[in-house]
Structure 1
Amino acid sequence: MSRTRIRSTPVDQACAAAVDLAREAAERIARPGEVGTHLGFESEGDRVVTHYFECLDRAYRGWRWAITVTRASRARNVTVSETVLLPGSGALLAPRWVPWNERLRPGDLGVGDLLPAEADDDRLAPGYTATEDDDGDQQMIFEYGLGRVRVLSPLGRDLAVRRWHSGEAGPHSPIAHAAPAQCSTCGFYWPLSGALRLGFGVCANEYAPDDGRVVAADHGCGAHSEATTVPSMVMDAVPPILDDMGYDDLMESGSVDETESEPLGHS
């Protein structure tokens, strides 16, 4: 029977010795055979000690039974205060809870779903304020005329630029490396307006994989408007092989009878 102390703090000796009492309490809440060896105890305060037992349930590997015992001041009898199953080191735990707005991923929004933007969203700025860049005044007037309450902030724009440039529509994707030229030189490339005009545009080629999507100016694909014509994969027809062995034998066997070659109607 182990009486190893987990933490060196003043321990009530009567509570520390109540291992059998703690085991009985654990066996009452566990199924038969699920309470293992005594792992030690920990002092929780004056005359309060928690005993730990190994949990043998295969569904709770790494967990341990925690039985807290205590006694009243100047009392000899130790009683059970609390019984619970707690995770130990290496225990299998549920993933850490993450707020819904941090769990969302691109493509999660479906038909009828609403995704409200927070009031302090750093990606947005009031539509009547400048955007802290060279074209701030023009964009301020333009956005104010549209009547939108909030517009894209410089931070929101930079996040979008990094996301688009490093994604599948950027210059580092496999299809861009194999492209004959960049999108900026393609006739189907429609540049965006405003501050993103030089770096991004929309693909307008219905046969391209990015049709209708934002692409980086240095992106590319095989549907480039100036791509060279791909040579035909159909091979030229092979000339027919004529068997002239019979013709040669006929000529060598003798001349043809001229009477058999006369036209009909002649005597």
Structure 2
Amino acid sequence: MIALPTRSGKPDSVLAKAVDLARSVVLEAADGDEVGEHLGAYAEGERVVTHHFACTTPGYPGWHWSVTLTRAKRGKDLTVNEVVLLPGDEAIVAPAWVPYKERLQPGDLSPGDLLPVEDEDPRLVPTYLVGDDPLDDDDRAQVRRVAQELGLGRVRTLSREGLDMAAERWHAGSGGPDAPLAKSAPDQCWSCGFLVRLNGSLADRFGVCANGNANDDGRVVTVDHGCGAHSEVKLARKQQPLPMPEHAFDTLTDDDLESL
């Protein structure tokens, strides 16, 4: 047996020696050919020791059986706390769980799908909070009810954090200055006649492409983005298509062909 000290100190000697008891507990949960050698014991706390046994089950390399034992002070009776199968450092395990909402990507929503926004979403603030006149809680609730009943505008609007997150995402995306399309463009969007500027605080950095022939048509682009469909782009003489030759006039007739 290999005793492995931990931050909790040296394992309790009585519990550390109870290898046979720990193995018998594992054999109640697994077949004999699924339990390998004893890998050691270490202290979980005062008079609490965990034994590890190698797992030989096919498909579980790097896993081990873990049995935790404990006893009362000056007591001789040992108690089994738990027995579990755990992965080691080199075990093959499933990736960490990511909630469905966080796994969604643009384009994943289908017709009829709903993606509700949390009440405390930092990207949004109540519209009635935007302004110079702060309201107390009762007044805010009243204004919100009245606005909803009368249909007066949006209940929430973008916060400063929401605007910054959108700006960072658009700048780093396919409509930003570092996109391959922009790197090879003859000019930037700020001088293109098809750029429709956004309103508000993002107007000096972003716009929407309105060129139906461009890859970014209908998408947000940075003013320093660009593409080959710029409104002022001109083809150099060497880039222009070669003129087609004149049509050949065929003087032969069907009779002439037959006489040949």
Sort the TM-score into its range (normalised by shorter chain).
Answer: 0.7 to 0.9
Aligned CA distance change for structure 1 residues 217 and 44 (closer, same or farther; 3 Å) = closer
The Cα of 1:210 is off from its aligned counterpart by 0.7
Gaps of 5+ in 1: 133-143, 241-267
Distance 1:76 1:186 in 2: 86
The Cα of 1:205 is off from its aligned counterpart by 1.1
The Cα of 1:103 is off from its aligned counterpart by 3.0
Aligned CA distance change for structure 1 residues 22 and 206 (closer, same or farther; 3 Å) = same
SS at match of 1:128: helix
SS at match of 1:107: coil
Asked if 2 retains the 8 angstrom alpha-carbon contact of 1:22 and 1:67, the reply is yes
5 Å-filtered alignment, 1:101-140, equals 101-130=101-130
Match for residue 173 of structure 2? 167
The Cα of 1:53 is off from its aligned counterpart by 0.8
The Cα of 1:235 is off from its aligned counterpart by 6.6
Residue from 186, 197, 201 that aligns with 1:195: 201
Match for residue 213 of structure 2? 207
5 Å-filtered alignment, 1:253-264, equals none
- More deviation, 9-18/200-209: 9-18
Distance 1:155 1:75 in 2: 60
Deviations 1:188-244 (A, max 9, x none): 111122222222211111110011111111111111111103633447659x9xxxx
- More deviation, 57-66/8-17: 8-17
Distance 1:47 1:181 in 2: 74
Aligned CA distance change for structure 1 residues 131 and 155 (closer, same or farther; 3 Å) = farther
Match for residue 42 of structure 2? 42
Match for residue 88 of structure 1? 88
Asked if 2 retains the 8 angstrom alpha-carbon contact of 1:66 and 1:86, the reply is yes
What residue identity is the alignment partner of 1:204?
A
5 Å-filtered alignment, 1:60-79, equals 60-70=60-70, 78=78
Aligned CA distance change for structure 1 residues 229 and 25 (closer, same or farther; 3 Å) = same
Distance 1:73 1:162 in 2: 60
Distance 1:173 1:73 in 2: 68
The Cα of 1:5 is off from its aligned counterpart by 3.6
Deviations 1:92-129 (A, max 9, x none): 33333334443333332222111222222221122233
Deviations 1:161-208 (A, max 9, x none): 121122111111111121111112112111122222222211111110
SS at match of 1:224: coil
Match for residue 4 of structure 1? 3
Distance 1:118 1:153 in 2: 14
TM-score, length basis structure 1: 0.72
What residue identity is the alignment partner of 1:166?
A
Asked if 2 retains the 8 angstrom alpha-carbon contact of 1:124 and 1:153, the reply is yes
Q: Which has the larger radius of gyration?
A: 1
Match for residue 218 of structure 1? 224
5 Å-filtered alignment, 1:16-27, equals 16-27=16-27
What residue identity is the alignment partner of 1:147?
G
The Cα of 1:55 is off from its aligned counterpart by 1.3
Distance 1:186 1:11 in 2: 74
Q: Identity over aligned residues, as a percent?
A: 52
Aligned CA distance change for structure 1 residues 147 and 75 (closer, same or farther; 3 Å) = closer
Gaps of 5+ in 2: 133-146, 249-260
TM-score, length basis structure 2: 0.73
Count of aligned positions: 227
